[in-house]
Amino acid sequence: MTSSEKIVLIVDDNLDDRYTYRRYLNKDAINTYQIIESETGEEGLEFNHKNNPDLILLDYLLPDMDGLEFIRELKASCNNLPPIIMLTGEGTETVAVDAMKAGVKDYLVKGKTNAESLRFAVRSVIEQTRLQRLAERTENRFRVSVENILDCFGIYTSVRDDNNRIVSFCTDYLNEAACKNNLFDLQQQTNQNLCQSIASHPNFELFEQCCQVIETGKPLSKEHVFCLETSQRKIVAKIFEIRITKLEDGFVAVWRDITERKQIEKALQQSEENFRVLVTQAPVGIFQTDCQGDCVFVNPRWIEITGLSLAEAKGKGWSKALHPEDREKIHHEWYEATRNGREFALEYRFKSPEGKVTWVAGRAVAIYSDRQERSGYFGTVTNITERKQTEFLLKQQRKQLIKINRELKQITSLLTKRNRELDEFVYIVSHDLKAPLRAITNLSTWIEEDLEGKLDDATQKNLELLKSRVKRMQMFIDSLLQYSRVGREQTPAETVVVRDLLVEIVDSLAPPPKLAIAIGKMPTLNTQKIALQQVFTNLIGNAIKHHHTKEGAIEISVIDEEDSCYFSITDDGPGIAAEHHEKVFGIFQALSSSNSAENTGIGLSIVKKIVEERGGAIELDSQVGRGTTFRFSWLKTTE
């Protein structure tokens, strides 16, 4: 007990008794006291409020209230009740019991109290109160501490049988975290023995280990698995980290649920294993460096690409794998990137000790610690040798194509010039040839007019033959001009109703009345009308012109496909021998008599050229005496 001054409030209406108490206390050799006196209960309550005494000496009988009433009033007005020693002239046990129940620390009878007993009682009560308050403060600190930790905390006492053997444990204290935890199901129990909860584990392993801690005094720290039943009656395994320490004839337990942490650790371990497999089996080279850019790890693919081992690659040794022509540049670029903390991305070459050159695309990014400090670089090298070889070939091909294109331009220019010259030549030929032919025609006509009636039959026949030959020559020249212009004169595409077109063509050709022409169901096309008209006119005209009789049938049909139409013109005429099938499409290749002024032998050549110029094909199917069929394909849409 310290020697600091203590405040004592004496509440007693008897002046002599107050004087006696003051005189006893002032002669205390251990403590010094400041004495405050009050004659009534009301005054005593007021002095207590103002002075906050360390002890109250209270007379049981006061003029305005008794001691018990004083204590009730004091409790109602004061949160921190000071210790009270009650003094009374009547030493009845009833008063003493009531006083102690009300909270009085000691009870003295005035007639039996001397100086020594009063000083001893005052010192004892003050010291007892100090220790009690210290214990309460310590208890409060303990409770605040354990109630605010996230771990579960519990204190347990052993329950022993007659042979002093531990049979269970009773719960003395649990913090809030422990009460909420399902480990012991302690929300509904305060004194249920721990054995009943932990005994659910096979062989009572944890219970036996708790007993060993108490018997040996050696702490236990372990991880333990519990199988708990959920509200849906599902068994769930929970992992707890437990520490048990002996406390008197029991123990203190601290535990935490580490199931989630273990799951994370397992997932992390699995992730690391997956990463290890990925790095090992990856088709690209993988490397890792420290924050200075020096190599600390390479995967097998990197070793395969470079030809260096892990030991050879570590530190700055990796740069030995660089192609001599690239080494200085890449070495500088890499360490410049790592000094500045920027991403590295370049294409460069490796050269193995055996001399094998490998092009790679290198890329690396910085990796950071939990504190966001750069700890190194992680990167890849991808073999792009095939791509580089392809790029080289494409570059060579591009050069070749540029050369070919240049030559094609020259050829095109030359062809344009030749076509222009050909057009001029054809025009000149046609003009120069037609002029004398017109003169011959005129001369023959004049001779015929001048010698009218004077010519014999032979001469007249020769003149007619001369005019026929001239007319045929003019037709040859016109056909030659027409053939030369096929494909060089493009007309815009338009909507063509093929059936209407065929009706117009047949009408213009004026077939014999008994030569029937049947037109099947025809499509509508977006194409060059004049070109299609030329083809149909030639083919239908040939079928009419070369029919061996004036009676018969011609059928026009079509097969409509997705992109093209396949037209057929079939007649029941004399047919064409197989050996002449190719010949009919040749220029100036007429199968009929060369004396026919109507036949130049160029019509089918023009048809073939028109069809093929537009991406189609034409074919002939015919036998002598069984008629003829011409088939040709035609795109539905012309750009």
Please determine whether the domains at 152-262 and 284-383 fall in the same fold group of CATH. yes
CATH for the 284-383 domain, from 3.30.450.20, 3.40.50.2000, 3.30.70.870, 3.40.50.1010: 3.30.450.20
CATH superfamily of 152-262: PAS domain (3.30.450.20)
Helix/strand/coil for 218: coil
Q: What is the fold, at CATH topology level, of the domain defined by 6-145?
A: Rossmann fold (3.40.50)
pLDDT at 60 exceeding the cut of 70: yes
* Two structure tokens written together for 156: 């347990």
* pTM higher than the cut 0.85: no
Q: How far apart are CA 344 and CA 339, in angstroms?
A: 11
Q: Which residue has the tokens 């002939």?
A: 620
Residues 6+ positions from 614 with CB-CB distance below 8 Å: 528, 531, 634, 635, 638
Span 445-464, mean pLDDT? Answer: 78
Span 269-294, mean pLDDT? Answer: 85
Q: Which residue has the tokens 């030995």?
A: 320
Span 177-196, mean pLDDT? Answer: 48
Q: For the chain, what are the domain ranges?
A: 6-145, 152-262, 284-383, 384-485, 489-635
- Which pLDDT value is given to residue 266? 87
Q: Which residue has the tokens 């009301």?
A: 42
Q: How far apart are CA 241 and CA 277, in angstroms?
A: 32
pLDDT at 512 exceeding the cut of 80: yes
pLDDT in tens, 609-618: 889 888 899 9
- Which pLDDT value is given to residue 467? 73
- Which pLDDT value is given to residue 488? 56
Span 207-211, mean pLDDT? Answer: 86
**The CA-based dihedral angle spanning residues 593, 596, 600, 604, taken in that order and rounded to the nearest 10 degrees:** -60
DSSP string, 370-386: TTS-EEEEEEEEEE-HH
pLDDT in tens, 141-183: 777 777 777 788 888 889 899 999 988 888 888 888 777 664 5
pLDDT in tens, 355-364: 889 999 999 9
Q: How far apart are CA 237 and CA 533, in angstroms?
A: 89
pLDDT in tens, 544-582: 988 888 889 999 999 999 889 999 999 998 888 888 777
Please provide the CATH number assigned to the domain covering 489-635: 3.30.565.10
- Among 14-28, 246-260, 309-323, 460-474, which is the least confidently predicted range? 460-474
- Which pLDDT value is given to residue 37? 94
| b (16+ CB within 10 A) / e for 232-268 | eeeeeebbbbbebebeeebbbbbbbbbeeebeeeeee
- Which pLDDT value is given to residue 413? 82
Handedness of CA 438, 441, 444, 446 (dihedral sign): negative
- Which pLDDT value is given to residue 186? 31
Q: Which residue has the tokens 């030359």?
A: 414
Q: How far apart are CA 608 and CA 529, in angstroms?
A: 16
Q: How far apart are CA 536 and CA 519, in angstroms?
A: 12
3-state secondary structure 566-610: EEEEEECCCCCCHHHCCHHHCCCCCCCCCCCCCCCCCHHHHHHHH
